[in-house]
Every structure is written in structure tokens, then in C-alpha cells.
């Protein structure tokens, strides 16, 4: 019988090595994301005041989500097992590839159509690809994200993602 580290009794639901491996992959990935955020934070210090706002904001968001991923892997009730992670099937491989392909297509399309129209179509196409069942919270989240991007880029940073501008700007 191969060596298997003993588990805390709270993690007794981890019946196979794949579930345990997923926990360690999440911990290592989260730690790597946090570690990579530090040099990128320093690198963004060379940018002008407003130009460093967005990359630093995104680095904080990435580090916070990485910390959530790490903490979640240590809490038995929240441990991400049986969520499709670690599966070895064609569908488990095709889903991220299809998502990446759709993202590349949406970015390419945004050169020819309005950025927000391309992102709206991307959001709609991701519903079946990601297997989203509760689409109302997903749609609300997408709208909030698009509004945030609009305010940040079009109003604050004055980056023309769209020809639509609020009156007075």
C-alpha cells in the first residue's frame, strides 16, 4: 500500500487522492498568485498616478481571491471537492479551452463592434459553456462588472472603449 499522509478527522470525506491533490493544488496556486502580485505591484510603481490605479486594483483583487482559495481549502465545510476539479475527462478539458477561445474571439470582435456589445455576447455564450444554471445572478454580476469597467475606463481613465458618454463628460 502506498504511503498516504494522515488526514485530520474533519477531512475524512476526502476518500481518494484526487480530492486531496485538488486541495494542495488550490493552496499552491493561491500562494503563487499572492507571491506574483508583489513584484507586479512594485513594477506598477513606475507608471503615472492614474495609470497605476487599474493594475494595482486588479492585483489586490487577485490576491484577495487567492487568499480566499487558500483559506477555503483548510475549512472542511468549504473545501472544494466534488466540484469537477481534478476530473480527467474530455469535458473537463474542453470547458476551459472553449472559454479561452470565446474570450479571444470577443476581444478580436471588440475591434470591429462596440466593446460592450462584444462582452455582452461573450457573457451570453459563456452560459452554456460554463453550465450556468442560475443565470439571473450571473446576468446581474455581468452588468455590474460592465458598469464598473465603463466607469473606470471611459470616465476615470478616459480610455475610449465605446462612443457612448454620459452628458457633460
Query: Can you give the residue ranges of every domain in the chain?
Result: 1-86, 89-169
CA-angle at 57, arms to 51 and 58, nearest 5°? 105
6-52: per-residue pLDDT in tens? 445 544 444 455 566 677 878 888 899 999 999 888 888 887 777 77
Distances 36 to 31, 48, 59 between C-alpha atoms, Å: 9, 21, 9
85-127: per-residue pLDDT in tens? 555 667 667 877 888 899 889 888 888 888 888 888 999 998 8
**What does pTM read for this prediction?**
0.54
Rounded CA separation 75/164 (Å): 46
Q: Quick one: cell of 43? A: 513594477
Amino acid at each position: 500500500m502506498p504511503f498516504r499522509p494522515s488526514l485530520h478527522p474533519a477531512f475524512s470525506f476526502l476518500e481518494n487522492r484526487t480530492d486531496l491533490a485538488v486541495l494542495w493544488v488550490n493552496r499552491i496556486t493561491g500562494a503563487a498568485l499572492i507571491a506574483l502580485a508583489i513584484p507586479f505591484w512594485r513594477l506598477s510603481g513606475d507608471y503615472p498616478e492614474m495609470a497605476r490605479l487599474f493594475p494595482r486594483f486588479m492585483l489586490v483583487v487577485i490576491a484577495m481571491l487567492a487568499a480566499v482559495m487558500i483559506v477555503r481549502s483548510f475549512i472542511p465545510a468549504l473545501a472544494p471537492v466534488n466540484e469537477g476539479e481534478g476530473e480527467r475527462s474530455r469535458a473537463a478539458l474542453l470547458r476551459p479551452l472553449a472559454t479561452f477561445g470565446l474570450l479571444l474571439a470577443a476581444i478580436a470582435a471588440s475591434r470591429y463592434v462596440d466593446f460592450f456589445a462584444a462582452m455582452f455576447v461573450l457573457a451570453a455564450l459563456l452560459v452554456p459553456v460554463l453550465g450556468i444554471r442560475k443565470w439571473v445572478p450571473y446576468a446581474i454580476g455581468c452588468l455590474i462588472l460592465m458598469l464598473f469597467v465603463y466607469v473606470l475606463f471611459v470616465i476615470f481613465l478616459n480610455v475610449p472603449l465605446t462612443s457612448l458618454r454620459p452628458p457633460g463628460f
